[in-house]
């Protein structure tokens, strides 16, 4: 009897770790990993106001891309950090953008308004840009230099070499 109880306890412990592992990065389906990606793929998306944003039009300035969703707790936790990044680095020429993946425009617009997002909020409603950047979980942050090269990919704002890309 004690042997079976130990087995049940071990199984329950393993099962209880599943939500923890999932919360580290919220899963986005159908995005194959592309470690060889060094140049940022160009894209054109609409923002929540309906204006067009084209990445290649930003050449000559560094770009911080923040992929996320409205339902991701990690994404929400990063918002204050990126508000501060926007406040500090936008006057120095950095473009900060948030790309919402696969959610309706109205929902994303309400989210952007309720969180007072100061940076451009783009809509990747079909997930094609997320797939191009191999986004398999959110939040995902990609830092581009002035030439459009990928400098850093991370799941949080820690250790982003922001000053380096402004040089």
Please identify every residue annotated as catalytic. 75
Cβ–Cβ under 8 Å, residues 71 and 22: no
- Tokens found for residue 20: 């923890």
CA Rg, the chain, in Å? 18
Q: In a 3-state reduction of DSSP, which class is residue 69?
A: coil
For the chain, the residue count is 167
Which phi and psi angles does 38 have, rounded to 5°? -120, -30
């Amino acid at each position: 009897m004690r042997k079976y109880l130990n087995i049940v306890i071990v199984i329950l412990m393993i099962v209880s770790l599943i939500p923890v592992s999932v919360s580290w990065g919220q899963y986005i389906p159908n995005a194959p990993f592309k470690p060889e990606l060094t140049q940022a793929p160009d894209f054109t998306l609409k923002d929540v106001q309906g204006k067009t944003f084209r990445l290649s039009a930003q050449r000559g300035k560094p770009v911080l891309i923040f992929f996320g969703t409205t339902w991701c707790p990690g994404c929400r936790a990063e918002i204050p950090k990126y508000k501060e990044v926007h406040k500090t680095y936008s006057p120095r020429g950095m473009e900060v953008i948030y790309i919402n993946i696969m959610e309706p425009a109205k929902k994303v617009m309400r989210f952007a308004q309720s969180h007072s997002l100061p940076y451009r909020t783009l809509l990747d409603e079909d997930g094609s840009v997320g797939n191009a950047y191999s986004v398999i979980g959110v939040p995902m942050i990609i830092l581009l230099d002035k030439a459009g090269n990928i400098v850093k990919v991370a799941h949080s704002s820690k250790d982003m070499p922001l000053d380096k890309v402004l040089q």
